Amino acid sequence: MKKIPFLAFLIVTLMACNNDDERTCRFCSSDQTPEFELCREPNGNASVNGEDTGTNYQAYLDDLVAAGASCGN
């Protein structure tokens, strides 16, 4: 009987962490660049047009917006 709560906890934890493995993307543009695709990779890095930048996604996005880029959802 003691295994059931542990098993339930393990399943919930795995399901919650599973969303981190998704790749999410949006399109960005600015006056200086043509439209490009910015994605958050499963490792947390930003990729631009499919190329990993090696930079944290949120930091990369914040810098783009600060530089005048517009990024949609």
The verdict on residue 16 lying in a domain is no
Which tokens hold the place of 71?
């990024």
The verdict on residue 9 lying in a domain is no
The verdict on residue 2 lying in a domain is no
Distance CA 41, CA 56 (A): 9
> For position 54, what pLDDT does the model report?
97
> For position 7, what pLDDT does the model report?
52
Q: How confident is the model at residue 72 (pLDDT cuts 50, 70, 90)?
A: confident
pLDDT digits 0-9 by tens, 4-44: 665 555 455 545 555 557 999 999 999 999 999 999 999 99
The verdict on residue 50 lying in a domain is yes
The verdict on residue 43 lying in a domain is yes
> For position 21, what pLDDT does the model report?
75
Residue 31 DSSP one-character state: S
Distance CA 68, CA 53 (A): 19
Is the pTM higher than 0.85? The answer reads no
Q: Domain limits at 49? A: 21-71
The verdict on residue 28 lying in a domain is yes
What is the tally of structural domains in the chain? 1
Those residues with Cβ within 8 angstroms of residue 2's Cβ, 6 or more apart along the chain or in another chain: none
The verdict on residue 54 lying in a domain is yes
